[in-house]
């Protein structure tokens, strides 16, 4: 008779990481199903399979949990962009990025972050945690973008915001309005506009008109 293999006991650190991840994933799913306002801590704890007390042990307030969701999603998105670039080559040129951004930001985690960002307008605690984090996130992404495509910081930030927030806006349209094909065409058109502005796939020759 075969002897059963002994169970491997998880360390406290592993258990903590698993619980925190379960809460973050439950938050993303709850926002996707019920919106930011409907994603209560009670619902999130139930969905993660933990007690509300255990949740508060890891995240003292709802705002701290939401801020950690933003951090978690950003880290995963950056890893996914790089993985896609390495596997497929998409992302080697600047004009690839509207499609690449769309493939990531229109998913439930990206939409959850967008709702959290919008909620900072009416939640001072959330704003205090998330707005500086979003600025840090943008600066990190900006450093990566400049390293890949050149350009000075002002130009790179302008181009990045054009692409990221155009795609975020189109992701909202895709959720609430019909005609998905036209939304996807808009993504392709944005990529073509970037190709015309930077045919070699870099930013050095791009010019941003400045109103005087």
Closest CA to 66 of 22, 18, 108, 117: 117
**Residue 166 near residue 98 (C-beta atoms within 8 A):** yes
* pLDDT level of residue 12 (50, 70, 90 thresholds): confident
**Interval 71-99 mean pLDDT:** 93
DSSP SS3 for 121? coil
Q: DSSP of 173-194, one letter per residue? A: HHHHSS-HHHHHHHHHHHHHHH
Give pLDDT, residue 142: 93
Closest CA to 67 of 125, 9, 16, 14: 125
Q: DSSP of 61-80, one letter per residue? A: SHHHHHHHHHHHHHHHHHHH
pLDDT per residue over 96-154, tens digit each? 999 999 999 999 999 999 999 999 999 999 999 999 999 998 999 999 999 999 989 99
pLDDT per residue over 25-55, tens digit each? 999 999 999 999 999 999 999 999 999 899 9
Give pLDDT, residue 76: 95
* Phi (first) and psi of residue 93, to 5 degrees: -115, 150
Closest CA to 142 of 133, 151, 131: 151
Closest CA to 41 of 57, 12, 65: 65
Where in the chain does DSSP place strands (E)? none
Give pLDDT, residue 7: 59
Closest CA to 134 of 176, 77, 82: 77
> Global pTM?
0.86
Give pLDDT, residue 143: 93
**Residue 94 near residue 88 (C-beta atoms within 8 A):** no
* pLDDT level of residue 212 (50, 70, 90 thresholds): low
* pLDDT level of residue 204 (50, 70, 90 thresholds): confident
């Amino acid at each position: 008779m075969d002897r059963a293999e002994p169970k491997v006991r998880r360390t406290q650190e592993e258990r903590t990481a698993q619980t925190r991840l379960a809460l973050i994933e439950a938050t993303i799913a709850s926002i996707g199903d019920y919106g930011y306002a409907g994603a209560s801590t009670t619902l999130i704890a139930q969905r993660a399979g933990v007690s509300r007390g255990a949740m508060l042990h890891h995240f003292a307030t709802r705002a701290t949990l939401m801020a950690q969701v933003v951090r978690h999603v950003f880290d995963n998105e950056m890893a996914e962009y790089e993985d896609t670039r390495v596997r497929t080559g998409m992302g080697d040129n600047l004009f690839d990025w509207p499609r690449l951004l769309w493939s990531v930001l229109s998913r439930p985690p990206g939409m959850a972050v967008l709702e959290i960002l919008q909620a900072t307008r009416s939640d001072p605690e959330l704003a205090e945690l998330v707005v500086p984090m979003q600025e840090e996130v943008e600066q990190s992404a900006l450093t990566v973008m400049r390293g890949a495509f050149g350009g000075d910081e002002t130009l790179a930030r302008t181009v990045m915001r054009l692409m990221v927030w155009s795609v975020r806006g189109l992701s909202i349209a895709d959720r609430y309005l019909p005609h998905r094909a036209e939304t996807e065409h808009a993504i392709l058109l944005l990529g073509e506009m970037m190709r015309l502005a930077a045919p070699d796939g870099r930013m050095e020759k791009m010019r941003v008109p400045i109103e005087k």
